[in-house]
């Protein structure tokens, strides 16, 4: 209603036109501001729109989404500590499965094991989604793998580039890190209460805008394509693909995820070293098993099963 208006619109006018109370209007204005809309509020005059956000909004994403459940509720913020942290808070407030949190920037973007995810403003995707899978906790690693597959396919659909996946959570282009996935769960011995899957994808960043520490190892879609990409269709494609692959997972068809994951795997058959909490396993990446664990052929003909760690590809 405020779009294209030079003058202020009073609370009474808006309230009449939309049939909602003035306090409801104020609540909406506050949530629009959190999304990056600049709205002036003057006591005797009302509201005036000064600037709209440059990033995809909740309504734009939902307009042509085509999912059943994922993205029914979407929260978009200009800046948060971490979208995963916000998603955890929303679960405590009763958020439903498929609720999405997006931010333009993160002040404490999280990688795995306490590492940091660089999250500058205005150019990338930082997205978290709340899931309540009815699967045994042993199958949890499959969530990360299915999310990696869904993101790789979404990127191919929208940008025409198919990333490879490095176990367990890296999306790579030409061996450089384009994105990462952080799966965090709240669980008990034999039941998963909920899961938050956090996805970071570098979209419109140039090499020099990466911090020096990751300039040689990170890449973005803009770098790979030589042009900027629009984030809106990519966000939609990610949510659609996630919903499809998640359905495959909860229907117990993990084998299909495993098969697709292997086609996209960056490490199959390669010499690797996997590090986890100070221990290193060296060998050849063989496969993943039905629970998403990595199987490594080690010296002497043995096979080690690895459930967590960082992979270094030797060649
Ligand atoms: C990851 O961790 O790859 C998981 C990243 C998940 C980020 C998303 S953004 C939305 C959601 N909210 C969050 O707070 N997090 C999730 P890991 O495998 O531990 O990789 C971290 C390492 O990647 C760092 O130690 C750096 O070396 C490198 N890195 C950091 N930021 C990067 C970036 N923007 N692009 C490429 N590499 C990066």
Residue 111 beta carbon below 6 angstroms from any ligand 1 atom:
yes
pLDDT of residue 32: 78
Burial of 161 (0-12, 13-18, 19+ CB in 10 A): middle
Q: How far is the CA of 179 from the centre of ligand 1 (A)?
A: 7
* Phi, psi at 67, each rounded to 5°: -110, 165
The distance from CA 56 to its chain's CA centroid, rounded to whole angstroms, is 14
Concatenated DSSP letters for 98-153?
T-EEEEEEESS-B-GGG-B----TTSSEEEEEEE---S-GGGHHHHHHHHHHHHHH
Q: What is the mean pLDDT of the chain?
A: 92
Instruction: Among 89, 108, 110, 117, name the best residue to mutate to test ligand 1's pocket (greatest count of ligand atoms within 8 A of Cβ).
Output: 117
Phi-psi region of 311 (alpha: psi -120 to 50; beta: other; left: phi over 0): beta
Residue 115 beta carbon below 6 angstroms from any ligand 1 atom:
yes
Higher-confidence residue of 54 and 67: namely: 67
Q: How far apart are CA 140 and CA 197, in angstroms?
A: 11
pLDDT of residue 194: 98
pLDDT of residue 218: 97
- Entry pTM: 0.87
Q: How far is the CA of 82 from the centre of ligand 1 (A)?
A: 11
What tens digit of pLDDT does each residue of 142-164 get?
Answer: 999 999 999 999 999 999 999 99
pLDDT of residue 208: 86
pLDDT-derived band at 36, boundaries 50, 70, 90: low
Average the pLDDT over 29-40 and give the result.
78
Residue 198 beta carbon below 6 angstroms from any ligand 1 atom:
yes
Residue 14 has pLDDT above 90, yes or no: no
pLDDT-derived band at 178, boundaries 50, 70, 90: very high
Atom of ligand 1 lying closest to residue 213 CA: 27
pLDDT of residue 145: 95
Residue 311 has pLDDT above 90, yes or no: yes
Residue 4 has pLDDT above 70, yes or no: no
Instruction: Among 103, 111, 184, 199, name the best residue to mutate to test ligand 1's pocket (greatest count of ligand atoms within 8 A of Cβ).
Output: 111
């Amino acid at each position: 209603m405020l779009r294209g208006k030079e003058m202020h619109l009073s609370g009474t006018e808006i309230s009449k036109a939309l049939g909602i109370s003035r306090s409801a209007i104020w609540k909406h204005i506050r949530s629009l501001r959190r999304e990056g809309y600049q709205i002036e509020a003057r006591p005797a005059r009302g509201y005036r729109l000064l600037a709209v956000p440059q990033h995809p909004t909740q309504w734009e994403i939902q307009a042509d989404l085509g999912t059943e459940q994922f993205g029914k509720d979407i929260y978009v913020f200009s800046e948060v500590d971490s979208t995963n942290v916000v998603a955890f808070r929303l679960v405590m407030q009763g958020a439903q499965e498929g609720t999405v949190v997006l931010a333009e920037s993160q002040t404490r973007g999280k990688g795995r094991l306490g590492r940091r995810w660089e999250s500058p403003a205005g150019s990338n995707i930082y997205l978290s989604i709340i899931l309540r899978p009815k699967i045994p906790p042993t199958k949890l690693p499959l969530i990360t793998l299915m999310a990696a597959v869904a993101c790789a396919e979404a990127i191919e659909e929208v940008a025409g580039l198919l990333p490879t996946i490095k176990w367990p959570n890296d999306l790579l282009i030409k061996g450089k890190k384009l994105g990462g996935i952080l799966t965090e769960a709240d669980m008990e011995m034999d039941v998963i209460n909920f899961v938050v899957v956090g996805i970071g994808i570098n979209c419109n960043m140039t090499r020099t805008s990466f911090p020096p520490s990751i300039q040689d190892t990170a890449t973005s879609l803009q770098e790979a394509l030589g042009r900027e990409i629009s984030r809106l269709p990519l966000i939609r494609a990610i949510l659609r693909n996630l919903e499809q692959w998640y359905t495959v997972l909860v229907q117990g068809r993990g084998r299909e995820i495993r098969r697709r994951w292997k086609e996209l795997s960056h490490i199959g058959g390669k010499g690797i070293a996997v590090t986890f909490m100070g221990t290193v396993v060296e060998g050849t990446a063989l496969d993943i098993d039905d629970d998403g664990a990595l199987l490594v052929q080690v010296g002497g003909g043995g096979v080690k099963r690895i459930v967590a760690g960082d992979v270094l590809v030797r060649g």
